[in-house]
Amino acid sequence: MNQLRGILIACFAVGGLLALVWFNLNRPRILVLHSGSERGLWVRDVDRGMEQHLERNRRPINLERHYLRLDEPGLSPESIRLRVQDAHRTVARLRPDILIAVDDEANALVAKDYLGRATPKLLYISIDQPPEMYGYRASQQVTGISEELPLAAVRKVLGDLQPAPSVGVESPTTAPASERVTASIRFPENRLSPERSLRIVALARDSETGRAELAQVQQFDWSPHRLGPVKVVRSLLEWQSESRSLAAESDVLLVLSYRGLKRSSESAELVPGTELAKWLETESVPLPIGLHVDYVVDGGGLSLAPAPTDYGLNAMHMAFEWLEPARKAVLPEPRRSPHFDVALRAERLRQRGLTLPPIYAEAARAGDDYYER
């Protein structure tokens, strides 16, 4: 009798173990492939958005993340090739049902290689290039969220800029004379006139992302403002030279993608973002406005940028939709995110004699992107 009981207990235990193994093997598998490293601000916020969705939806899945870390300095072509190979090995090991590829590099170097295969399904997020650039045409295998710069919000900001009430009054917050920049923006006597036309220029690092961002800037309707030259540069020296040459014909400088900027054409040294932001805030005559939150984190005055947390949250929502058995694998519609983050370093604007309505400071505080100095 005891022997029979032992056999039954053993069978029950083995059966439970086999059921658990079967359950784990049959849980949907999602692999998130990041272009950058886990230390990057953008990457961390995308992951945070994904976690927010996972906390709300308790459906069991196998989730793994892989980081290409292409934002690390000094990468050689061979290093990049090895990292791409490692990503392919991760895909082969996990055999994901859905591969979420974040940013253009992850899609260009890895994700698009799986087009035409039975698995995985491909979900791109925050790509600046049109999906067609990666072969993502009318396919039941691919969907995602394209990145859209918040240019309409930038245009609105330009209409909301006003002279700071303390202009000309010395105070502890007034910048030293060596750091003061004379703002090129002039205001009509009637402050309520919204029709002033500002001259806008834009600079970006010469990269796939930078060129795609400039294309968005060029295609946007900036009226009543006027869009002037938009240029890509390869080094800090080129950026500084172009900024100076554009100063006489511009009021606003849009600061686009600049990570990976080299010091000069003869140097492989990468320029810290803090150095570029400091130079722009102290030397640029036109008002610099970043299109990445990183610009304010690096020391800049104002940024309006795509919202990475929203990309992460919506990407995971789309993945869960796609995996829902009741939907019978119906492809979620490709989309763009209408949300953006505001980042503000108030002292930088005051140094130029400029201010914005309080709603901008509150929006920046809500996203933990407000800096007094």
Residue 179, domain CATH: 3.40.50.2300
Identify the pLDDT of residue 186: 58
Residue 113 lies in a domain: yes
Reported as a pLDDT band with limits 50, 70 and 90, residue 166 is low
CA distance 283 to 253: 12
CA distance 326 to 311: 24
227 and 353 share a domain? yes
Q: Is 208 exposed, middle or buried (0-12, 13-18, 19+ CB in 10 A)?
A: middle
58 and 158 share a domain? no
Look up the domain containing 313 and give its range.
25-147+308-336
111 and 258 share a domain? no
183 and 128 share a domain? no
Reported as a pLDDT band with limits 50, 70 and 90, residue 355 is very high
Yes or no: say if 219 and 304 are a contact pair by the CB < 8 Å rule: no
Beta bridge mates, 343: 303
**Mean of the pLDDT values across residues 21-25?**
41
78 and 196 share a domain? no
Residue 207 lies in a domain: yes
225 and 366 share a domain? yes
**Mean of the pLDDT values across residues 18-42?**
74
Identify the pLDDT of residue 30: 97
Reported as a pLDDT band with limits 50, 70 and 90, residue 266 is confident
Residue 136 lies in a domain: yes
Residue 325 lies in a domain: yes
Reported as a pLDDT band with limits 50, 70 and 90, residue 329 is low
- Paired tokens of 34: 């990041």
Amino acid making up residue 82: L
Residue 11 lies in a domain: no
The count of structural domains within the chain is 2
Inform me whether the pLDDT recorded for 136 exceeds 90. yes
92 and 61 share a domain? yes
49 and 160 share a domain? no
CA distance 5 to 219: 76
Yes or no: say if 311 and 43 are a contact pair by the CB < 8 Å rule: no
Inform me whether the pLDDT recorded for 198 exceeds 60. yes
pTM over 0.75: yes
- Paired tokens of 254: 């849009």
Residue 8 lies in a domain: no
Q: Spell out the alpha helix ranges (H) of 30-128.
A: 41-56, 77-94, 103-109
CA distance 73 to 339: 30
Yes or no: say if 265 and 278 are a contact pair by the CB < 8 Å rule: no
232 and 282 share a domain? yes
Inform me whether the pLDDT recorded for 284 exceeds 60. yes
- Paired tokens of 180: 């003061």
**Mean of the pLDDT values across residues 65-83?**
89
Identify the pLDDT of residue 16: 43
One DSSP character per residue, 249-271 reads: G-SEEEE---TT-BSSTT--PBP
Residue 17 lies in a domain: no
Give the number of C-alpha atoms closer than 13 A to the C-alpha of residue 269, restricted to the C-beta side.
9
Sorted by sequence, the CB contacts under 8 Å of residue 157 that are 6+ apart come out as: 289, 302, 304, 356, 360
Inform me whether the pLDDT recorded for 293 exceeds 80. yes
166 and 274 share a domain? yes
- Best mean pLDDT range from 10-14, 349-353, 357-361: 357-361
Yes or no: say if 123 and 139 are a contact pair by the CB < 8 Å rule: no
Inform me whether the pLDDT recorded for 182 exceeds 90. no
234 and 365 share a domain? yes
Residue 345 lies in a domain: yes
Percentage of the chain modeled with pLDDT above 90: 63
Cα 93 to Cα 28, 76, 252, 322, distances in angstroms: 14, 26, 49, 22
Inform me whether the pLDDT recorded for 170 exceeds 70. no
Reported as a pLDDT band with limits 50, 70 and 90, residue 5 is low
Inform me whether the pLDDT recorded for 165 exceeds 80. no
Yes or no: say if 98 and 323 are a contact pair by the CB < 8 Å rule: yes
Yes or no: say if 281 and 181 are a contact pair by the CB < 8 Å rule: yes
Cα 74 to Cα 115, 271, 290, distances in angstroms: 31, 11, 25
- Mean pLDDT value across the chain: 85
324 and 263 share a domain? no
CA distance 167 to 159: 19
